[in-house]
Amino acid sequence: MSATIGYPIDLHLHSTYSDGLKSPEELCGAAARLGLYAIALCDHDTVDGLAPMAKAVARLNAGGALPQPLRFIPSIELSAGSDGHIHILGYGANPRSPSLTACLHAAQTDRTSRAARILARLAALGIALDPDLLDGLKSPAIGRAHIARAMVKDGVVNTVQQAFDRYLAQGKSAYVPRKLPSAADAVSLLKDAGAVVVLAHPCRLSLGDAALNALIKELMGAGLDGLEIYHPSTSRTAVRRLEPLARRNDLLVTGGSDYHGDANTRVSMAHMPSGWLSWAEDLEALLSRVKHT
Ligand code: AMP
Ligand code: MN
Ligand code: MN
Ligand code: MN
């Protein structure tokens, strides 16, 4: 993770509607305390948190206590590719798009059955988790983060990271893959739903320059609009390479902390790598293309 600094915007947040720990109302409260101008909710595989978040932002803005109104951009994060490592953000997708609705329904069904398979694998390893600890079992977007946190609460591991490193990460004993669309199909689907489509945290992919360039080219062919360059996983060196690449190709530059609300991590709301001098212009460029808000 690179050293990060605070900005007045955060275009990548998670709530309790997926694997975040804060409700939309709590996220809004935190954004207001930080004096942010704009936030986007990007829950995994669900649009269910978007209306509550829009309502919480509207309530905050109507309260008259903010120095400037808080802008809210509805979004979503889809996992894609054979190992699920490619994450695609769709800003301003039409939440009633039939193809998006079908895709989310399939993803949620797959998440639920996969969570049961992960729990069975853990049980086979002698780790029987107390189902009462699994708050996320009630969420249609149940994921490995919920299971990892339950493992911490149950004392199986000390940290969420340890749960992933020992059991839940790809290749580990309780890993169960998901059934996912290809990255190009995820981009096309979000485009069809009217979204501005951004490749999330490109450095998380751990690809070499040539492979990452090839992926970006391929996704541009499917309609990719931007790259999430200012993410805690992007090193200063990578920013210096990726930002000119984005601008040369007329791709939007975005940034977000990927805040999940976990304590004891180095992720803080609105903290991204330093050097994003044009965040205001880049935000306007994104907003000018977002159709559904
Ligand atoms: P899933 O969508 O169920 O496959 O889980 C992926 C989510 O788990 C990511 O969005 C992160 O929130 C979290 N995650 C993935 N890998 C790790 C890791 N190594 N350490 C902590 N959290 C992780
Ligand atoms: Mn997550
Ligand atoms: Mn992601
Ligand atoms: Mn995310």
- The rounded distance, in Å, linking the Cα atoms of 281 and 258 is 21
The CA distance from 130 to 268, in Å, is 30
Burial (CB < 10 A; 0-12, 13-18, 19+), residue 170, is exposed
Mean pLDDT to the nearest integer, 164-179: 97
Q: What is the model's pLDDT at position 145?
A: 95
Specify the pairing of strand 271-273 against strand 38-41: unpaired
Maximum CA extent, the chain: 55
pLDDT of residue 293: 82
Neighbour count for residue 225 (Cβ, 10 Å)? 24
CA of 73 to the centre of ligand 1 (A): 23
pLDDT digits (tens, 9 = 90+) for 121-171: 999 999 998 777 776 666 789 999 999 999 999 999 999 999 999 999 999
Computed on alpha carbons and rounded to an integer, the radius of gyration of the chain in Å comes to 18
18 φ/ψ angles, rounded to the nearest 5 degrees: -130, -120
Please determine, for residue 106, whether its predicted confidence score (pLDDT) is greater than 70: yes
CA–CA separation, 137 and 124 (whole Å)? 19
In this structure, the number of other CB atoms found within 10 A of the CB of residue 65 comes to 8
**CA distance readout (Å), 121 to 124, 128, 245:** 5, 10, 43
Which residue of 87, 144, 266 sits with most ligand 1 atoms within 8 Å of its CB, as the best mutation to test the pocket? 144
Residue 252 phi, psi dihedral angles, 5° rounding? -65, 150
Ligand 1 neighbours, Cβ below 6 Å, are: 19, 44, 79, 84, 143-145, 160-161, 164, 169, 260
User: Distance, CA 18 to ligand 4 centroid (Å)?
Assistant: 10
Residue with tokens 């193809």: 99
Q: What is the pTM of this model?
A: 0.97
The C-alpha atoms of residue 14 and residue 228 are separated, in whole angstroms, by 15
Which atom of ligand 1 lies nearest, measured to the CA of 19? 12
DSSP-based helix, strand, coil % in the chain, nearest 5: 45, 15, 40
Residue with the smallest CA separation from ligand 1 atom 5 is: 144
Question: Which pLDDT tens digit goes with each residue over 14-33?
Answer: 999 999 999 999 999 999 99
Are 48 and 16 within 8 A, CB to CB? no
Alpha-carbon span 66 to 86, nearest angstrom: 37
Residue nearest to atom 12 of ligand 1 (CA): 145
Distance 280 CA to ligand 2 centre (A): 26
Give the distance (Å) from ligand 2 centre to CA of residue 212: 22
Tens of pLDDT, residue by residue over 25-56, are 999 999 999 999 999 999 999 999 999 999 99
Which residues make beta-bridge pairs with 197? Answer: 90
